[in-house]
Structure 1
Amino acid sequence: MSHSSAFRRGLVAALIAYILWGVLPLYFRALHGVPPLELVGWRVVFTLPVCLVIVAIRKQGPELRKAFASPRLLAQLALSAALIGGNWLIFIIAIKNGHVLATSLGYYINPLINVLLGTMLLGERLSRVQWSAVALAGAGIALLLAGAFDTLAVALSLAVTFAFYGFVRKQAPVGSVPGLTIETAVLFVPALVVVWLAAGTPQGSSMTGGGYTPPLLAASGVATAIPLMLFAVAARAMPLSTLGFLQFIAPTISFVLGLTVFGEKLDATRLGCFALIWAAIALYSWDMWRGSRSVSQTPA
């Protein structure tokens, strides 16, 4: 596959993944009665079978076995599993506590972390305009220190865990589906312990309740696996800094949901922070667009 074909494939995968993640607060709103840790446990339990089915359909068993035979790769995927598991838990707790705007802000900040990782650890270079965009985003984060530290704590936790997850997965020499399969396999036993302990509580397991909760929990495997696999495809096909700045799609959707469906309010501090980060995204995206036009117009 040529570089341009791989880039286009990664771009499509990233766009679909970010749209699905953008509407995810609605999914977890419907599961508000399930304790966050138990919900993460069921996500893992139901995601692993989905991954194994896809591995079988795509005949990736040899790649999966090869990955299991590499201690170094297993260590990388164990780390990425811990990062994504932590990210899931933080996100669900935030949604349950009515902090959808904070989660939106976290995924707006995530590109800043991606850019820093890409430049410091992967040798990716930014133009002066792009560094100006990073500075604007940094100013938005600093603004929260003055008047919305609780929002900043949720936002930074989500941004850092997901940025490092993307960084680790980009370095792991394994396909998206086998990689996610191993990640969920690493988390599977702890997840079983969590759901077993939940069954022993006075309220019992959420899977034994009535209504739509059990089927929604069962469907969480598909809802989890599909966007993560798409993201893994994109992370391996695109520069980390470029991938990060496509992410504005998901938090924009969540931002709108937070204001409309969830009825959250924006104070002046949070609005100022969002405005600075939106400006950073616009500036960075404009510079990328200008650069791509310059390349496309250069005579062969």
Structure 2
Amino acid sequence: MTDENAARETKLGGISAVSAYILWGIAPLYFKLVGDISVYTIIAHRVIWAALFVALFLIMVNRIREILPIFQSKKSMVWLVFSTITITVNWGLFVWAVDNDQLLAVSFGYFINPLVNVAIGMVLLGERQNKLQALAIGIAVIAVAIQAVGLGGLPWISLTLAFSFGFYSYFRKTVEVGAAPGLLIETLLLVPFAVVLLIWLGPTNPIPVGDSTPSIWVLLMLLGPVTAIPLVLFSIGARRLRLTTMGIFQYIAPSIHFIMAVWLLGEPLGQLRLLSFVLIWVSLAVFTYDSVSRQAKIRKAKRT
């Protein structure tokens, strides 16, 4: 690959990755638009329309056949069942938290997610961490403890979001499946449950009827691309950028969540809670410095 082509690929990767994280960052505003509908109804529609959208996407790019070998692999399907469970918990709690004005908790959860990934790597993959990474994790633990004091209990929303997405990333890293085919299988596994949920909730949580009904249905159908497009963009970026670069970009979404929660939605931010955010930012600064430094040493070693 020529330098010009490499630069073009890197630029495409950067634009795609930044776009994905911005879309994930502003996603809460979209869920606020359908706030009059039951959270469980929104989750069910999100699954159904995401499955349809991803299936149509794979058909359009002539990749739908990729899912057949996956269904035939028992090992792949077992891992995808685990990833489906964890992403269901993550999706469900994310929508519930946004609907219940807990966007600061969402922000905190996704800020600590990179450090949760490191901890999972230590425990499950036997990865050894250096002193700076250990320091970053230690500061994050203190930040969680301070937030627990400020909230009067463990920040379970933040921890559940961080660990569910952390384990989702672990399970998806374990199985050799592309982003879009994997997402299609995950959503297809959930579609029967989503349909049953809609039938069960129908009498008690109907879709509002009136002048706004057509627009509400459009919003519900758009949950498909709202769910899938950022993941596709993320996949494009991940294939073209260094892991360090992707690691820095992932702070975009929780930063947007934090700004929206405090200045747009007016969620209360007490002193202890603010201190916990400051500590987690310090932790991430240490973690990012370590990652950038190690990548620089690797590139220098390759040149010599």
Calculate the TM-score normalised by the size of structure 1.
Answer: 0.88
- Residue 115 of structure 1 is matched in structure 2 by 118
Structure 2: distance between partners of 1:256 and 1:63: 40
Are 1:153 and 2:130 counterparts?
no
Structure 2: distance between partners of 1:145 and 1:259: 19
Are 1:204 and 2:201 counterparts?
no
Alpha-carbon shift at residue 261 of structure 1 (Å): 1.3
CA RMSD of aligned residues (A): 2.7
- Residue 95 of structure 2 is matched in structure 1 by 92
Task: Identify the match of residue 285 of structure 2 among 260, 282, 287.
Answer: 282
Task: Identify the match of residue 227 of structure 2 among 221, 224, 237.
Answer: 224
Alpha-carbon shift at residue 247 of structure 1 (Å): 2.3
With over 3 angstroms needed to count, the CA separation of the structure-2 counterparts of 1:25 and 1:150, relative to structure 1, is farther
With over 3 angstroms needed to count, the CA separation of the structure-2 counterparts of 1:154 and 1:225, relative to structure 1, is same
Letter matched to residue 296 of structure 2? R
Letter matched to residue 204 of structure 1? P
Structure 1: distance between partners of 2:166 and 2:236: 15
> Helix, strand or coil for the counterpart of 2:41?
helix
Calculate the TM-score normalised by the size of structure 2.
Answer: 0.87
Structure 2: stretches of 5+ with no match in the other structure: none
Structure 1: stretches of 5+ with no match in the other structure: none
Alpha-carbon shift at residue 14 of structure 1 (Å): 4.1
Alpha-carbon shift at residue 160 of structure 1 (Å): 1.0
> Helix, strand or coil for the counterpart of 2:222?
helix
Offset from partner CA, 1:211-238 (integer Å, 9 cap, x none):
6322111100000011233445667888
Alpha-carbon shift at residue 246 of structure 1 (Å): 4.1
- Kept in 2, the 8 Å contact 1:41–1:194? The answer is yes
Letter matched to residue 45 of structure 2? W
Structure 1: distance between partners of 2:177 and 2:187: 14
With over 3 angstroms needed to count, the CA separation of the structure-2 counterparts of 1:166 and 1:184, relative to structure 1, is same
- Kept in 2, the 8 Å contact 1:198–1:205? The answer is no
Task: Identify the match of residue 127 of structure 1 among 126, 130, 133.
Answer: 130
Structure 1: distance between partners of 2:39 and 2:264: 21
> Helix, strand or coil for the counterpart of 1:212?
helix
Moved more, 57-66 or 238-247: 238-247
Structure 1: distance between partners of 2:293 and 2:209: 52
Letter matched to residue 207 of structure 2? S
The number of residue pairs the alignment matches comes to 295
Percent of residue pairs identical: 34
Are 1:163 and 2:176 counterparts?
no
